[in-house]
């Protein structure tokens, strides 16, 4: 049987009748499109930690569906017992990845449903949790499309766009964040030329971004991370669009390791650098990037993961942070579903949330 195009699959979906969450196992891409069903707390935690599901929006949706599936497995009619077990699951899932704020945001939103409905029967609370999780999924689709519309105003037909890591459909439910203007432009005949950083050490740009863009018919060129300066110097890049996992109140952003290097190079060559950020990713309680906890990953991701034999001396020290922080001074705009924030970000990000409250 002919395999479907990757764009025809849902990144994350609820399989309620099967008591599970279905995800594309992104560790298998691009060689194999494998959809797996997550049913237990350990399976959901592992899928998030091992990057089987990844990207801030997709992690949030997976967490919402996951905590609902786990809530269904709590067999009690007593609200205090249900709440205690629910919060155990929440704390456990929340520990999977510390940097991506969407994980704690989605789990917190689900917990609020439980707390607000404490006078209802437990079975009704479970149904309300399902409704909230589906709502989070549907909101993500609309949020990404809105980001795409605002992002498209920063571009013109034929532009060259550079992106780092994967903030595409595979990192969300649909459209993605940083790729949303690319996909909308593709639909409208803009003819963008995209340069995708391979994104060491986990190669999300090579395995995921280049894969999904090529599958969509986008003109995409894969480059090594250390080639970004060359393509910018050549005048091939008109804008950089990246996603992020957390935005601090001052506009500092945490994104996949190497993003800050791209931002510095873009500043050097006068290329505008934009961050696509759903408001769920903006954390006004985190004052600056210095306050963002950066996840440290397994050294083997650098030394051995992609090689038939280790490509570094045995026992060598490895520094392998999953993310770095890009200073707000290097960012020309933060594109949200409620508009584009510009410096000074302490003011403009709060204005974005004011617009959100009014809608």
Q: Which residues have a catalytic role annotated?
A: 245
Radius of gyration of the chain (CA): 20
In sequence order, which residues have a C-beta less than 8 Å from that of residue 305 and are 6 or more positions away? 201, 202
- As given in the structure block, the two tokens for residue 71 are 């809530």
Alpha carbon distance 123, 76 (integer Å)? 9
Strands 273-276 and 239-242, by their bridges, are parallel
CB 271 within 8 Å of CB 278: no
- As given in the structure block, the two tokens for residue 288 are 């600056």
The HSE-up count of residue 243 (CA atoms within 13 Å, CB side) is 35
Alpha carbon distance 50, 57 (integer Å)? 16
Q: What are phi and psi of 138, to 5 degrees?
A: -65, -35
The interaxial angle of helices 56-72 and 101-116, nearest 10 deg, is 40
Estimate to the nearest angstrom the gap between the alpha carbon of 257 and the chain centroid.
Answer: 14
């Amino acid at each position: 049987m002919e395999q479907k195009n990757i764009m025809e699959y849902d990144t994350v979906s609820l399989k309620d009748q099967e008591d599970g969450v279905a995800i594309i196992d992104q560790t298998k891409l691009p060689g194999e499109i494998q959809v797996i069903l997550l049913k237990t707390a350990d399976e959901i935690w592992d899928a998030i930690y091992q990057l089987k599901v990844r990207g801030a929006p997709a992690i949030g949706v997976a967490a919402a569906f996951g905590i609902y599936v786990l809530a269904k497995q709590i067999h009690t009619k007593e609200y205090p017992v249900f709440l205690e077990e629910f919060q155990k699951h929440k704390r456990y899932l929340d520990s999977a990845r510390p940097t991506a704020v969407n994980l704690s945001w989605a789990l917190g939103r689900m917990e609020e449903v439980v707390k607000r409905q404490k006078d209802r029967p437990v079975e009704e609370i479970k149904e309300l949790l399902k409704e909230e999780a589906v709502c989070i999924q549907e909101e993500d689709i609309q949020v990404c499309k809105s980001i795409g519309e605002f992002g498209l105003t920063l571009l013109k037909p034929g532009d060259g766009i550079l992106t780092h890591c994967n903030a595409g459909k595979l990192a969300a439910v649909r459209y993605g964040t940083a790729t949303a203007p690319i996909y909308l432009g593709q639909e409208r005949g803009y003819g963008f030329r995209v340069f995708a950083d391979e994104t060491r050490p986990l190669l999300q740009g090579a395995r995921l971004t280049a894969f999904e863009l090529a599958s969509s018919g986008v003109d995409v060129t894969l480059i090594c991370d250390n080639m970004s300066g060359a393509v910018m110097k050549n005048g091939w890049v008109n804008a950089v669009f990246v996603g992020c996992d957390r935005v601090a109140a001052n506009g500092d952003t945490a994104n996949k390791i190497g993003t800050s290097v791209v931002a510095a190079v873009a500043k050097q060559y006068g290329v505008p650098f934009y961050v696509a950020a759903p408001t769920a990713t903006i954390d006004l309680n985190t004052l600056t990037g210095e306050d963002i906890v950066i996840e440290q990953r397994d050294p083997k991701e650098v030394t051995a993961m992609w090689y038939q034999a280790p490509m570094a001396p045995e026992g060598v020290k490895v520094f392998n942070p999953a993310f770095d922080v890009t200073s707000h001074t290097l960012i020309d705009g933060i594109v949200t579903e409620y508009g584009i924030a510009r410096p000074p970000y302490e003011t403009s990000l709060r204005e974005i949330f004011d617009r959100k409250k009014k809608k």
